[in-house]
Each structure stands twice: as structure tokens, then as C-alpha cells.
Amino acid sequence: MSGAEGGAPLRGVGPMLTERLARLGVRTQGDLLFVLPLRYEDRTRVVPIGALQAGIRAVVEGEVLLAEVVFRRRRQLLVRLSDGTGSLTLRFFHFSNAQRAGLARGTRLRCHGEVRRGPLGLEIVHPEYRGVGATGEALPQTLTPIYPATEGVTQGRIRGLVQRAFASTGGTALVDHLPRELRAEMHLPELRAALEFLHQPPVGTELATLAAGKHPAQRRLALEELLAHQLSLMALRRATKADNALKLADRTHLQERFLAQLPFRFTAAQARVLAEINTDLAQTQPMTRLVQGDVGCGKTAVAAAAAALALGDGRQVAMMAPTELLAEQHARTLAQWFTPLGLPVALVTGSMGARARRTALAAIAAGQLPLVVGTHALFQESMEFRSLALAIIDEQHRFGVAQRLLLREKGRGHMPHQLIMTATPIPRTLAMTAYADLDISVIDELPPGRTPVRTVVVPEERRAEIVARVEETCRGGGQAYWVCALIEESEELRCQAAEESAALLTEALPQLRVGLVHGRLSGARKDAVMHAFAAGEIQLLVATTVIEVGVDVPNATVMVIDNAERMGLAQLHQLRGRVGRGAQSSSCVLLYRAPLSELARARLKVLRETNDGFEIARRDLELRGPGELLGTRQTGLAQLRVADLIRDADLLPQVRAAALRLQQEQPQACLDLIARWVGAGEQYGRVG
């Protein structure tokens, strides 16, 4: 965030504190006002010690009866505090001699903290405390804000700096960039009033309302932040569309020939999305289109058909994947489709040998290799294209926006068209907000022949039953996956490692051919194992999550996911999508170790209840929030400071309408809002 208002530098703050505050995004007086509390505590009344209950946070006041240092596993200071209605223990694990001296018998203290049960009765561990006189001191008249923590900056210091910032901007009230009519329509307070309230809510404010983020002051700031990010992405979209792209025409009818030689027909959804892409590619404005679709819906085939159109115009196409394994798979798939049409496929990854790499780069630069597949290696300066017209990016949420737009430099005066694919379906309202710089297409239909996968959740104690079921499947001519969380054993995580699991399963199932694949194998070794599995030479493939996006093996009908409780919902759904690719019924076994956290229990329940990727995405968003769903590298909405895309979803239609209106009527307010909430970040996609 940028302190556009109150932009004066911090006053009375030394270099060390300045550096620490910068971690909170604070560089000016104005920035301080936008460091909003994470939560609040009611310290406006003293609770008699005799009325305390475990689990509550409370202010107590009393006299020190006893202070002693004891050694119970570790050195600690125990202070006995009494107020006549009862007594409790204050427990300190970190303390100085001066602190101990200040807690002498007879000292009167006011303390705050979470009350819990201890070996000596109720206690507070490391309370906030201060000495008070015999007559006490005035209690706060507002709720106490608890700010985001950063090392070396106490809560008291942040509170003091915030109040000083309010005083210093008193003569020049913060400029309110939301139009008065919009505030009136939505019954929202002015900016300064909202900020003052949130930094010091008066006594009587409902803590539950604040915790739920539903107070009008919070809603006011959430709407403004969402609006700023929306405007930022819309500005990025306008800037991208202002670039020139090559208008593509399939002069050799390659797309038609490509579709004719496929061993399957496109679904209606695939045909619809391809038509949208073809329309985009015929324009001189660069396409920036996101294609969403569930696991197995045929996104890659649609992307390949789009590539065929560009190749048919005599241009080059690049496809990027987030991992070498996925890049290798895409290269194999595309080679199967395009080699019969007389077009070779080049694979460029970071692990290529120097000589092979030089040869490939020279051929690509000369235009001799029109179709290139790779990882982030395609971004490197040494990579040159003769006429790159289309960039296909798989799993957009794993790439940053800036990284994606580096491709501009590869177009030789033209911005390549961009087709972005994701198998993480994103709910429509979130997609329209988080990807406002992209057009969105949805493949909402699975190809015929895909059978729903039956999902069961099984405790660790029944592992032997699952092993027997795997054996039965494989001896009956089927194949199975066994996925583990880690490569090596970890005591801390208690995960069954792939190597250990492979050894145990080989011993338990001597009649089966067991293979092992994980990220530390060489590319050639991984390739060999995956090929052997695809060819049916391996019956049981033990793997880490590298096969989350892997080879298509229709004969594989059982997926066992070990320690499923430790994986995210989207990842579990992706893994489950490895089976159910043929006409046979398939099943996914989620093997877990108790005890389950509430989040893990909720995840496994969702997987058991539905196979619908869009419903899973919606529930994943509820459980985890947008940051993880979009990916931590996704700049912008994954880093919202006030708004919450689930809690504030009802604001999104108003945000979009307000953004369009502001763009037309108040362009300067748009720039000011972006500067306040996004800062320099509105240029995150503008590279070069």
C-alpha cells in the first residue's frame, strides 16, 4: 500500500524501527492509519478473579502475594495474585532479574491475558501487566486494538504511532475518493470516520460484529480495497489490449486437419471455447483468455487446436508448464498429435544438457521449430523466437502475472496472444474479480466415457484391507496408484515416505510389479517409470505428488492417497483425477491418520461428497480463502489486507459497477485509489 495521503515521512522513529515498520508496509504517516487491527479485546472493565473462567481473555487487578523462581523442566517465574475474591497464578518463562524485582510482594498489578487451567489452578501465561496505585487507574474507554505483529515492535508502540499519525493528519483530513452518492447508496461512513472507529471502537461496540467483519466501517474499507484492485486489473487489461498482436489466419487449414485426426470428437463445451479462442486470434488486439475446466475436461486438446491455427499461419507457439514433469508430458502429448501432421515439437527445460540446449535454441530462433514446450526456462533472455504468436500457459495460478507478461519481450514487436489454462476451477464471482484482466472461458462438460470416481475415507488402522484391495485390482488386470506426501521419512510429520512405502508394498505384494517415482529421480528415470506404467509393465505405481498432473492411464482404476489429511482440497481432487479415465469404475481411497483437525475433516468430507471441480473450488475457497486457491504468487487479490472475498462476496457486483462508473466519471479518483491500496503494484504486469 502507498501512503498517498498523509504522505509525510515517519516522525520520531529511528532507523531500526523504520526498517521493522516497513515489514508492515508502513513508510509514511498515512500508511500507519491503514495498518488495521486483526482483532479487538475488551479491556474496559476489571473482572473479579473469583469470577474468572478458563478460556476467556480478561483484565484482572490484585496484589502480589508471592513471587518465586521454580525449576519444573524449565526455569520459570510464578507470581500469585489476589484481589479478595480469589487468586490466580501469573506464569513467566522469559523474565529478567529487574522484572522479578518489580513483582515483589505487595505490588498492585493490573493484568490482561488468556485465562487457562494450570497445575495450581487458573493461571495466565505471560500476561500484559502494569503496576497501578492503591486507588487504581482509569480504564480504557475504547476497545483495545491488536495489530499485526512484527519482530521488535510492541502493540503499545504501534498504538502510540497510530494515534500520533491521526493527530498529524488532523488539519488535512484523509481525502475520500469514494463518491458521496456511492457512500450514500450503500450507507457507508466517510473514510476518516471509518478509520478512527476501527482504530478505537467505543465501549459497547459488539466484538462479534467486528470479528465477523460486518461493521459498516469495515465494509467501507473492504469495498474501497476491492475497488482499487479491480481498477488496477482493469487498467492492466486496457494496457495489454493497447498492444499490437498478429492477426492469425489458418492458411493451411492445419486446425481442421488436427481436429480430423484426433481419436475423439470435441464436446460441445470444447467446441464453444475453441470458437471463442479462434475469434480472439483473428484480432490485432492480443488475446488474454483464461480457460477453466475440471480435471480431464480436455483443456490440452483445445489449447493444441488453438496452437494449430497459429502454426497454420506459419507462426510459432510456446507452451509453458510449472514443472519439468508436466512440460515433458505436454511435449509427448503434442508430439503424438502434431508429428503425423509433419510438425516437430521442441522441449526446453532447465535440466537440458548444454549442447542439446544450444542446438534447440538456435533452431527456435531460426524458426525451424515452430512448437516449443518448456518450463520457466522459456522466460530466459537467451531464448529467442523468430515469430512467436501464441503463448499457452498451463496452471496460471502457479505463475505470477509479471512472469506471464515477460512474454511481451519474446514477440519481436508484437504481443503474443495468451491462452491460460487452469484445472483449478474458480467460482465465477472470484474469477471475475481476481482475473479482471482476462477474458474467461469455461469447459463445463466432461468427455463421454468418463466414469465418476467413488471416494472413500479410511483410517490408518485399515491399511491392510486397502493393500489387499490393491492386490485384487492389479491381479484382475487393473492398475493402481499409491501416493505419499514425502520422499523421505519425517518423524515430525509422521508421513509414510514414498521410498519406504514402495519397499513395504513390494514386500507385501510379491506377485505385483511395483514402480517408484518422485521428484528427486532424474528426468530420464522418471520418464522410464511413467512410460512403463502407461504401457502396463508396472501394475502399482508408488509416487509423491509429482503425478498430480501426470500421464493418462485409462487402465488405472484405484488411487490410494496416504496421509490425505495433510493435503489441500484442490491437490486431492487433482490426484483423484488420475483415475476414472476409462470406462471401468474407479475408486479413490483417502487414507488418514487420527486425530483429524477440523479443517482436514472438512476437506475429506467434501471429497467424499462430490466429484464436481467447481463445487470443490467453492468449498475450498470457503475453507482456505482466496490466497491459497489463487496461489501465493498471484499478485493482487491474494494479498488483500481488509477485504475477504468470501465474507464480502456480496460487495463484488457493486465493486464492478462502481469501477466502471469511476473509470468514466472520475479517472483521477481511480488513480488515487490504486495508489492508496496497490501502490506501485498496479504496474506489476507491465514489464519492459
Which pLDDT belongs to residue 569?
A: 85
Looking at the fold, whether 267 and 406 belong to one and the same domain comes out as yes
Domain boundary among 443, 461, 487: 443
Is residue 324 in some structural domain?
yes
Where is 574: in which H helix or E strand? helix 569-576
Q: Are 636 and 684 in contact (CB under 8 A)?
A: yes
Which pLDDT belongs to residue 675?
A: 86
Domain boundary among 110, 139, 168: 139
Residue 105: is its pLDDT beyond 50? yes
Q: Give dist(CA 248, CA 33) in Å, integer.
A: 51
Among 284-298, 386-400, 450-464, 629-643, the range scoring the smallest mean pLDDT is 629-643
Once rounded to an integer, what is the mean pLDDT over residues 191-202? 94
Q: Are 546 and 323 in contact (CB under 8 A)?
A: yes
Residue 634: is its pLDDT beyond 50? no
pLDDT band at 257 (very low <50, low <70, confident <90, very high): very high
pLDDT band at 58 (very low <50, low <70, confident <90, very high): very high
Cell numbers describing residue 348:
526446453
pLDDT band at 85 (very low <50, low <70, confident <90, very high): very high
Which pLDDT belongs to residue 255?
A: 98
Once rounded to an integer, what is the mean pLDDT over residues 233-258? 90
pLDDT band at 494 (very low <50, low <70, confident <90, very high): very low
Query: Which residues lie across from 457 on neighbouring strands?
Result: 590
Is residue 676 in some structural domain?
no
Which pLDDT belongs to residue 350?
A: 79
Give residue-wise pLDDT tens across range 509-527.
999 999 998 877 776 788 7
Give residue-wise pLDDT tens across range 14-27.
888 888 888 887 88
Q: What is the mean pLDDT of the chain?
A: 85
Cell numbers describing residue 320:
509453458
Which pLDDT belongs to residue 2?
A: 47
Looking at the fold, whether 488 and 408 belong to one and the same domain comes out as no
Once rounded to an integer, what is the mean pLDDT over residues 416-444? 81
Cα radius of gyration (the chain): 30
Looking at the fold, whether 476 and 570 belong to one and the same domain comes out as yes
Helix, coil or strand: residue 5 = coil
Is residue 497 in some structural domain?
yes
Helix, coil or strand: residue 515 = strand
Which pLDDT belongs to residue 396?
A: 52
Give residue-wise pLDDT tens across range 541-571.
998 876 655 567 889 999 999 989 988 887 8
Give residue-wise pLDDT tens across range 575-608.
898 898 777 889 999 999 988 888 889 999 999 9
Residue 679: is its pLDDT beyond 80? no
Is residue 688 in some structural domain?
no
Is residue 669 in some structural domain?
no
What are the φ and ψ backbone dihedral angles of 229, each rounded to 5 degrees?
-70, -40
Residue 53: is its pLDDT beyond 70? yes
Q: Tell me whether strands 144-146 and 514-517 are parallel, antiparallel or unpaired.
A: unpaired
pLDDT band at 531 (very low <50, low <70, confident <90, very high): confident
Domain boundary among 443, 477, 506: 443
Once rounded to an integer, what is the mean pLDDT over residues 333-340? 95
Helix, coil or strand: residue 26 = coil
CATH code at position 274 = 3.40.50.300
Looking at the fold, whether 600 and 512 belong to one and the same domain comes out as yes
Looking at the fold, whether 400 and 521 belong to one and the same domain comes out as no
Residue 9: is its pLDDT beyond 80? no
Once rounded to an integer, what is the mean pLDDT over residues 137-163? 86
Residue 55: Cβ-neighbour burial (10 angstroms; 0-12, 13-18, 19+): exposed
Which pLDDT belongs to residue 398?
A: 44
Looking at the fold, whether 521 and 404 belong to one and the same domain comes out as no
Looking at the fold, whether 104 and 131 belong to one and the same domain comes out as yes
- The structural domain count of the chain equals 4
Looking at the fold, whether 30 and 63 belong to one and the same domain comes out as no
DSSP-H helix ranges across 443-497:
463-475
Looking at the fold, whether 151 and 73 belong to one and the same domain comes out as no
Q: Are 532 and 466 in contact (CB under 8 A)?
A: no
Q: Give dist(CA 628, CA 621) in Å, integer.
A: 8
Give residue-wise pLDDT tens across range 453-486.
999 999 999 999 999 999 999 999 999 999 986 5
Q: Give dist(CA 51, CA 65) in Å, integer.
A: 19
Is residue 647 in some structural domain?
no
Once rounded to an integer, what is the mean pLDDT over residues 59-67? 95
The one-letter amino acid code at 610 reads T
Residue 491: is its pLDDT beyond 50? no
Looking at the fold, whether 316 and 381 belong to one and the same domain comes out as yes
Looking at the fold, whether 195 and 263 belong to one and the same domain comes out as no
Which pLDDT belongs to residue 515?
A: 94
Q: What share of the chain is helix, strand, coil (3-state, %, to 5)?
A: 40, 20, 35
Which pLDDT belongs to residue 170?
A: 54
Residue 337: is its pLDDT beyond 60? yes
Query: Which residues lie across from 75 on neighbouring strands?
Result: 71
Q: Give dist(CA 407, CA 320) in Å, integer.
A: 11
From residue 4, give the alpha-carbon distance in Å to each of 13, 70, 198, 506.
20, 53, 20, 64
Give residue-wise pLDDT tens across range 305-315.
999 999 999 99
The sheet carrying 540-543 orders its strands as 453-459, 586-592, 556-562, 479-483, 540-543, 514-517
Q: Give dist(CA 387, CA 370) in Å, integer.
A: 9
Q: Give dist(CA 385, CA 506) in Å, integer.
A: 48
Q: Give dist(CA 34, CA 218) in Å, integer.
A: 12
Is residue 433 in some structural domain?
yes
Is residue 223 in some structural domain?
no
Residue range(s) defining the domain that contains residue 565: 453-610
Looking at the fold, whether 404 and 297 belong to one and the same domain comes out as yes
Give residue-wise pLDDT tens across range 643-663.
887 788 888 888 988 999 999
Once rounded to an integer, what is the mean pLDDT over residues 358-387? 89
Q: What sign does the dihedral 611-616-617-618 (CA atoms) show?
A: positive
From residue 215, give the alpha-carbon distance in Å to each of 166, 340, 640.
21, 63, 18
